[in-house]
C-alpha cells in the first residue's frame, strides 16, 4: 500500500491540474479548425479564469445583470471548466431542443453520488431506461388515476391548517409527502416520517451541491483521495452523510413494499406495478431491472414530495401580499362551486384559478437556473465556438421575468394570462422554463400541476390568507425573498390563515366524510 503525505497530495494535485489545463487548451485548438471566437463574457485570468466574478449567491440574478452587458449568451471559464449561460427562450430552444442530441448530457457531480436520481444521470441508455419506467406512470394520459389521492391529501391539508395554521409550512410538506407516498408506495406519511426526513436531507444536499462548481472536488476529482481527517475536508464528510442517507432513500421503501407484497398486505401502487413487470429469477438482468424500478420510485418521491412545496409556499406568500388577487380567485370559486369543495372536473370552469397557477410557477421558479446540461461534443453556434464539455445552463428566472413578455414581471398578476375571461394562448406559458429544458424536462410535471391545482383551489375556497400582525395590531411586512441554491424556497415569513366563514369551517370539518 502506498502512503501519501499531505505534501505529496498537494504536489500530485498540482501536476494533475496543470496537465488537465494543457490538455484542454490543445483539445480546443484541435476542435476549433475555423478559429471561431468563444461567446462573449467576463474576462478572466490565467489558470483561475473568471473565478473572482463567478456568482456564488443567487447566480440567476447576477447573470440577469450580465445579459444586459454581454447579450443573451454568456461564456466564461473557472479553472479550465467552461460555462455557457443562456438568457432567452430563443437561445434555450436552439440549444436544448434543436440540438438536443449534443446538449442533453449532465456534468459529473462528485459531491453527489446520487446515481439513482435520473435527473443527474449521464445521457445515454441507462438514463433512458430510468426515465421510461417513470414516464410510464406519470405521462398526461395516466396521471388522472392519482386524482382521488390528491383530493384526499388537499382535504387533509385544509383540516390540518384549521387546527394549527401557524405550522402551515410543515403542513405543506406533510401533504405533498403524503400524496406521493400513497401513489408510489401505497403507504401513509404517518408511518414513514423518518423517511420524509431523509428525503429532506437529500434535497437539502441537492440544493447546495446541484450545480457544478459548488464544490472544488467537482472541478478536480483527484481531490477524492484526500482523507476525511484532512484540514478543510468538511466537504468530504458532508458527501459521506449524503451518500448514506441516499442509500436509505433509494432502497428502504421499495424493500418495505416487497416485504408487504410477499406477505399479501401491500396496497396497489406504482411500486407493486413495477415489481410485477420485473423478469423472474435472480440473474443480473432481473437485478438490474429492479435497480431501475426502485430508483424510478425514489425519484418520484424526491420530486413530488418537495419541489411543489416551494410553489405552494410561494402561493401563500403571494396571497398575503396581493389581497385583490385572492379576492378575485375566491369570487370565481364561490360562483362555480356554490358552497362546496372543489373537484378536478371543476377545473375547466375556473380560468382565473388556472391563470393563478401559471403565475405561481412564473413568479418564483423553484429551479431558477434549472439543472446543468453539458455539451457532449464541440459545436459551432451563431458564429461562436462552444468547446466539448462546456456546462450549459438556461436561466429560467430571466426567461420568466422578461419584461418584453411579462409586463411588470416582479409583481404577482394572474390577469396577464387571461383575455376575455379565458386563458390567452398567445401569452408565453411558464412551463417553457419552469420544469427544465429539452429532453431533460421534468417528467413529473403533470402530477405536480394536478397537486398544485387541488391544493390551491381547496385553500382559497375555505381560507383567507393575510399578513401577520405585530404587538400594535399592524401588519408585518412580508418581503418576497427566496433562498439560494439549485432548489429555491421562500425565505421564512409569517401569515394569518383564517377560515372565511362558519360555513367554511364546517366544510373543512366535513371534508373527511367526503374522502
d(CA 129, CA 64): 36
d(CA 20, CA 14): 10
Are the beta carbons of 275 and 261 closer than 8 angstroms?
yes
Q: In which element (H, E) is residue 20 found?
A: helix 6-31
Of the candidates 169, 172, 189, 171, the one whose C-alpha atom is nearest the C-alpha of residue 180 is 189
End-to-end CA distance of the chain: 64
Cell 388522472, residue located? 144
Supply φ then ψ for residue 280, to 5 degrees: -65, 155
Q: In which element (H, E) is residue 180 found?
A: helix 168-185
d(CA 489, CA 481): 9
Of the candidates 180, 166, 139, the one whose C-alpha atom is nearest the C-alpha of residue 455 is 180
> Which cell numbers in the block locate residue 67?
445579459
For residue 405, count other CB atoms closer than 10 A to its CB: 15
d(CA 22, CA 380): 22
Helix (DSSP H) and strand (DSSP E) numbers for the chain: 17, 10
442 in a known ligand binding site? yes
Supply φ then ψ for residue 394, to 5 degrees: -95, 125
Are the beta carbons of 177 and 196 closer than 8 angstroms?
yes
For residue 202, the SS3 value is helix
Supply φ then ψ for residue 425, to 5 degrees: -70, -15
Q: In which element (H, E) is residue 385 found?
A: strand 384-386
> Which cell numbers in the block locate residue 282?
435472480
For residue 75, the SS3 value is strand
Could you tell me which residues are annotated as the binding site?
A: 442
Could you tell me which residues are annotated as the binding site for heme?
A: 442
Amino acid at each position: 500500500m502506498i502512503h501519501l503525505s499531505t505534501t505529496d497530495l498537494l504536489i500530485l494535485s498540482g501536476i494533475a491540474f496543470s496537465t488537465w489545463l494543457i490538455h484542454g487548451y490543445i483539445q480546443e485548438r484541435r476542435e476549433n479548425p475555423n478559429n471561431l471566437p468563444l461567446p462573449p463574457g467576463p474576462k478572466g485570468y490565467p489558470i483561475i479564469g473568471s473565478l473572482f466574478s463567478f456568482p456564488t449567491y443567487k447566480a440567476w440574478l447576477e447573470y440577469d445583470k450580465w445579459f444586459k452587458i454581454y447579450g443573451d449568451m454568456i461564456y466564461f471559464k473557472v479553472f479550465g471548466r467552461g460555462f455557457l449561460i443562456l438568457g432567452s427562450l430563443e437561445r434555450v430552444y436552439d440549444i436544448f431542443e434543436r440540438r438536443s442530441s449534443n446538449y442533453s448530457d449532465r456534468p459529473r457531480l462528485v459531491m453527489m453520488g446520487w446515481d439513482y436520481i435520473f435527473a443527474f444521470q449521464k445521457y445515454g441508455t441507462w438514463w433512458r431506461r430510468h426515465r421510461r419506467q417513470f414516464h410510464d406512470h406519470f405521462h398526461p394520459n395516466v396521471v388522472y388515476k392519482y386524482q382521488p389521492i390528491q383530493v384526499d391529501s388537499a382535504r387533509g391539508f385544509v383540516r390540518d391548517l384549521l387546527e394549527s395554521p401557524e405550522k402551515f409550512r410543515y403542513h405543506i410538506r406533510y401533504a405533498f409527502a403524503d400524496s406521493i407516498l400513497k401513489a408510489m408506495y401505497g403507504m401513509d406519511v404517518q408511518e414513514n416520517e423518518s423517511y420524509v426526513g431523509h428525503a429532506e436531507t437529500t434535497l437539502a444536499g441537492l440544493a447546495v451541491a446541484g450545480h457544478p462548481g459548488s464544490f472544488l472536488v467537482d472541478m478536480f476529482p483527484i481531490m477524492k483521495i484526500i482523507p476525511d481527517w484532512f484540514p478543510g475536508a468538511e466537504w468530504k464528510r458532508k458527501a459521506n452523510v449524503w451518500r448514506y442517507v441516499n442509500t436509505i432513500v433509494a432502497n428502504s421503501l421499495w424493500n418495505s413494499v416487497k416485504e408487504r407484497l410477499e406477505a399479501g398486505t401491500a396496497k396497489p401502487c406504482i411500486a407493486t406495478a413495477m415489481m410485477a413487470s420485473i423478469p423472474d429469477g435472480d440473474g443480473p438482468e432481473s437485478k438490474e431491472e429492479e435497480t431501475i424500478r426502485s430508483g424510478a420510485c425514489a425519484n418520484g418521491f424526491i420530486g413530488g414530495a418537495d419541489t411543489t412545496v416551494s410553489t405552494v409556499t410561494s402561493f401563500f406568500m403571494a396571497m398575503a401580499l396581493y389581497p385583490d388577487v385572492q379576492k378575485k380567485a375566491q369570487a370565481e370559486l364561490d360562483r362555480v362551486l356554490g358552497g362546496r369543495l372543489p373537484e378536478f372536473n371543476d377545473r375547466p370552469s375556473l380560468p382565473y384559478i388556472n391563470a393563478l397557477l401559471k403565475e405561481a410557477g412564473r413568479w418564483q421558479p423553484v429551479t431558477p437556473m434549472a439543472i446543468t446540461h453539458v455539451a457532449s461534443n464541440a459545436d459551432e453556434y451563431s458564429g461562436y465556438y462552444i468547446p466539448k464539455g462546456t456546462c450549459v445552463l438556461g436561466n429560467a428566472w430571466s426567461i420568466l421575468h422578461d419584461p418584453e413578455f411579462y409586463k411588470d414581471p416582479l409583481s404577482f398578476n394572474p390577469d396577464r394570462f387571461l383575455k376575455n375571461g379565458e386563458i390567452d394562448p398567445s401569452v408565453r406559458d411558464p412551463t417553457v422554463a419552469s420544469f427544465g429544458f429539452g429532453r431533460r424536462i421534468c417528467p413529473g410535471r403533470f402530477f405536480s400541476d394536478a397537486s398544485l391545482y387541488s391544493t390551491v383551489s381547496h385553500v382559497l375556497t375555505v381560507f383567507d390568507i393575510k399578513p401577520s400582525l405585530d404587538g400594535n395590531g399592524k401588519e408585518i411586512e412580508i418581503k418576497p425573498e427566496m433562498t439560494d441554491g439549485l432548489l429555491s424556497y421562500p425565505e421564512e415569513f409569517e401569515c394569518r390563515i383564517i377560515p372565511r366563514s362558519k360555513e367554511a369551517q364546517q366544510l373543512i370539518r366535513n371534508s373527511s366524510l367526503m374522502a
